[in-house]
Amino acid sequence: MEITNALLVAMMFIVLITLGISNIIVGLAVVVDKRTPVKADTFHTSWVLLLLLIHFYMFWHVLDILSIEEWKFLEFLYIVAGAMLIFFATHLLLPDPSSADAGDLRAHYFNISRQFFCFLALLQIWNLGVDFLLGKGFSSAGIFDAIALVLFVILAVVSQPKVHSVGTGVGWLLFFILILVRAL
């Protein structure tokens, strides 16, 4: 087996994405564990599950990374930056068991929502850049990334539960429409 730059880039990307997936699975295990006082919250759990799907979606695109034969170091850093952004967002969303709001997931969600959605907004900017890096230009997925960018900026700025309720629904809708568009 020949080790190429593309394989090295893909391996680092996979490691970072896998760490995020592992954190989400551990976080969900705490919520479903009946021995802990943590009770699921609609906002928090919805975003945790959506973040898990986004991780899987990003993992699926490792084939795009492998399709480029030659990688430069700055391109590698750019690709790894996206995996780091989603890892940071995941870390924020999942409460530290020792934190004051670890048992109150709704309070935790609203305490970290500004920073969490800023990371997701940066991830959308990264997504737009990846399409150009991979030679796809502005694609149909880019339209969804731009809409998601606006959504995440709004959710970062506004802390009203009604706005977050609608925003969560819109986030799920965008993800499913994106999957449908990609499938067609």
Tens of pLDDT along the chain (184 residues) come to 577 888 889 999 999 999 999 999 988 887 777 676 667 788 889 999 999 999 999 998 888 888 888 889 999 999 999 999 999 999 999 987 666 566 788 888 999 999 999 999 999 999 999 888 877 777 777 888 899 999 999 999 999 999 999 999 999 999 999 888 877 7
Query: CB-based contacts of 89: which residues, under 8 Å, 6+ apart?
Result: 51, 116, 119, 120, 123
Whole-angstrom Cα distance, residue 58 to residue 14? 9
Query: CB-based contacts of 15: which residues, under 8 Å, 6+ apart?
Result: none
Of 58, 56, 116, 122, residue with least CA distance to 92: 116
* Domain edges within the chain: 5-183
- pLDDT at position 136: 72
- pLDDT at position 124: 94
- pLDDT at position 55: 95
Whole-angstrom Cα distance, residue 134 to residue 142? 13
Of 181, 79, 184, residue with least CA distance to 129: 79
The answer to whether the CB of 155 falls within 8 A of the CB of 109 is: no
- Joined tokens for residue 10: 């893909």
One-letter amino acid at 151 equals: L
Rg over CA atoms, the chain: 17
Query: CB-based contacts of 96: which residues, under 8 Å, 6+ apart?
Result: 102
